[in-house]
Structures are given as C-alpha cells and as structure tokens.
Amino acid sequence: MNTSKIIAAAALSLLAVAGANAETYDGVHPLTTGASRADVQGSAVAAARAGNAYGDAANAGVEIVASTTNRAIVREEAVATAHNPLQSLDRRAFYRDQVPSAYNKPKVSFTRQAAL
C-alpha cells in the first residue's frame, strides 16, 4: 500500500514537471515605427480635433431644429407643469394601477397665503 502511494506521487510529479513549460521573456518589444515623437504628437492633436469618427452624429454637423411654437407659450406650459402638485404622480404606485379619484382633481388649493 505504501509503495503504491509512492509510485502514484512520483507519476504525478513527473506529469507536473512535463506540463510546466514556462514561456521565455523576450524583454521589451522593439520599436516598430520610424515616426518621430513630433510627428506622432501632431497626428494625435489632429485626431483629437477631428472628434469621434465612430459616433452616430460625427459627420452630421449642426442640426437645425425648426419650431413653430412661440417661446412665451412654451414658457407658460413649463411654469404650469412645474406648479402642478400631481405632476410626479405615478399610477403604478397605487393598488391595481388605478389612481384614486381624490388625486385626479385637487379640491383644495396647494398654495399658502400669508395671514394678516
């Protein structure tokens, strides 16, 4: 029994030695380009100014948005929406995704007035 354990350990150690092939270290890779540092820096600056060549809107340029709405009307709608107390009301927060009728139309004013 003891001999079989020694033979098994020797066989495993031989397999480990045979399987352990380390790669050789070649050091730092040699320089493969002939460009000078100034040339590389110049091309890097040009590439940075060119923008993202792989983006969706890289070659789109300036896009003009034509709006037919008056600026004052848009501002009034924004102010009205900002002052709406039920603006962030989410129906998913209620039972069976139904907003209770008490929330549909506010019967009280949400603004406070100073007492005299």
Tell me which residue of 110, 89, 87, 108 sits closest to 100, measured CA to CA: 89
pLDDT of 30 reads 75
The DSSP output letter for 62 is P
pLDDT tens string 72-93: 999 999 998 888 877 777 777 7
pLDDT of 59 reads 66
Measured at the CA of 27, the angle between CA 25 and CA 33, to 5 degrees, comes to 135
Q: Give the DSSP H or E segment for 49.
A: helix 37-50
In the chain, % of residues over pLDDT 70: 77
Distance (Å) of CA 87 to CA 72, 74, 102, 112: 21, 17, 15, 19
46 vs 17, more confident: 46
pTM score over 0.75? no
